[in-house]
């Protein structure tokens, strides 16, 4: 083989290796770029926040946009459809928030059928609670695995004394906030039995929110009263619920839904103050269904 032919082959082989190395480097750089652009799903602080302002608890921006949309229908009608939209006061209030994981034994899926196979179509309700002790003690309890179904418990959200909103269980999941419970609606009593070993409850269609109990309420001898909740708690509670489409008449308390005759929370809750704040943070806007 002539030297010129040998040199040409060596040059061609070298060029092929260089091209292969270049392709591998480009592929690696592209993968790195994609990894930087994609949130780390192992980090709950990155992914969990996006779970909450959805379904019945949507972001203010989404609510405003949807309220302005004209819904087209095949039937001509001017019947208004009411929808809550958040206000300027809502936009100006920005509470601190935390996202905390809960042990999977303390919450579950929402059922589409009851134990008899009947379809479930209850509209959501919001149930207000209080922790009984500190927020940290409640969170610690929720993070411990409980095999006993009579012990399992959780809230969807907890509001600390300083107004910090702690997101615990995603709204599409079923929190175990009210064991033996019934909601008295204008259309009759509402409750769902999903476990043959437990009494029926509102958990399948409830969103549970708890207020941290003030320290003077920790004493067992003062379980019927305490100094009340902070202004920050009332504001954060109204701010949170203002993002929902749950009407005022479907907001209730643990005491009112309880059928065990043991629950009295939230103690000393000022319902008028809460509703006034809620009406400050959201308002009803009609949407007219029209067709062309």
Which position has the higher pLDDT, 223 or 217?
Answer: 217
Instruction: Check if the beta carbon of residue 291 is closer than 8 Å to that of residue 76.
Output: yes
Strands laid side by side in the 251-253 sheet = 97-99, 165-167, 157-159, 206-211, 125-130, 251-253
Distance CA 12, CA 210 (A): 72
At 138, list the tokens. 């409640």
pLDDT tens per residue across span 27-48: 554 443 443 333 332 333 322 3
As beta bridge partners, residue 161 has none
**CB neighbours of residue 167 within 10 Å:** 22
Distance CA 60, CA 132 (A): 31
As beta bridge partners, residue 181 has 258
Distance CA 154, CA 130 (A): 12
Q: What pLDDT is stored for residue 38 in this prediction?
A: 33
pLDDT tens per residue across span 81-107: 788 999 999 999 999 999 999 999 999
Domain spans of the chain? 1-38, 55-287
**Mean pLDDT for the chain overall:** 80
Distance CA 194, CA 206 (A): 14
Give the angle subtended at the CA of 228 by the CAs of 226 and 234, to the nearest 5°.
160
Strand 97-99, strand 165-167: pairing: parallel
Q: What CATH code would you report for 55-287?
A: 3.40.80.10
pLDDT tens per residue across span 243-258: 999 999 999 999 999 9
Q: Label residue 225 by pLDDT band (50, 70, 90).
A: confident
pTM of the model: 0.74
As beta bridge partners, residue 72 has 290
Which position has the higher pLDDT, 68 or 283?
Answer: 283
Instruction: Check if the beta carbon of residue 84 is closer than 8 Å to that of residue 242.
Output: yes
**CB neighbours of residue 55 within 10 Å:** 14
Answer whether residue 13 shows pLDDT above 70: no
């Amino acid at each position: 083989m002539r030297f010129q032919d040998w040199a040409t082959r060596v040059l061609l082989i070298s060029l092929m290796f260089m091209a292969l190395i270049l392709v591998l480097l480009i592929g690696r750089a592209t993968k790195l770029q994609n990894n930087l652009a994609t949130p780390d799903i192992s980090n709950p602080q990155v992914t969990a926040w996006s779970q909450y302002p959805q379904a019945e608890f949507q972001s203010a921006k989404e609510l405003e946009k949807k309220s302005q949309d004209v819904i087209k229908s095949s039937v001509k009608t001017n019947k208004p459809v009411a929808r809550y939209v958040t206000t300027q006061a809502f936009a100006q209030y920005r509470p601190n928030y935390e996202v905390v994981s809960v042990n999977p034994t303390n919450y579950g899926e929402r059922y589409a059928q009851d134990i008899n196979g009947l379809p479930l179509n209850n509209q959501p309700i919001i149930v207000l609670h209080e922790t009984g002790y500190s927020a940290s003690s409640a969170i610690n309890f929720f993070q411990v695995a409980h095999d006993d179904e009579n012990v399992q418990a959780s809230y969807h959200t907890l509001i600390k004394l300083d107004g910090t909103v702690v997101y615990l269980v995603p709204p599409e999941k079923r929190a175990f906030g009210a064991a033996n419970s019934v909601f008295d609606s204008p259309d009759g009593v509402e409750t769902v039995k999903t476990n043959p070993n437990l009494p029926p409850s509102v958990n399948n269609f409830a969103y549970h929110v708890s207020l941290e109990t003030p320290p003077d309420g920790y004493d067992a001898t003062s379980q019927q009263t305490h100094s009340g909740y902070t202004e920050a708690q009332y504001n954060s509670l109204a701010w949170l619920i203002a993002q929902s489409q749950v009407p005022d008449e479907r907001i209730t308390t643990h005491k009112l839904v309880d059928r065990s005759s043991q629950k009295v929370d939230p103690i000393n809750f000022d319902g008028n103050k809460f509703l006034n704040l809620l009406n400050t943070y959201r308002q009803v806007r009609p949407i007219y269904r029209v067709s062309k």
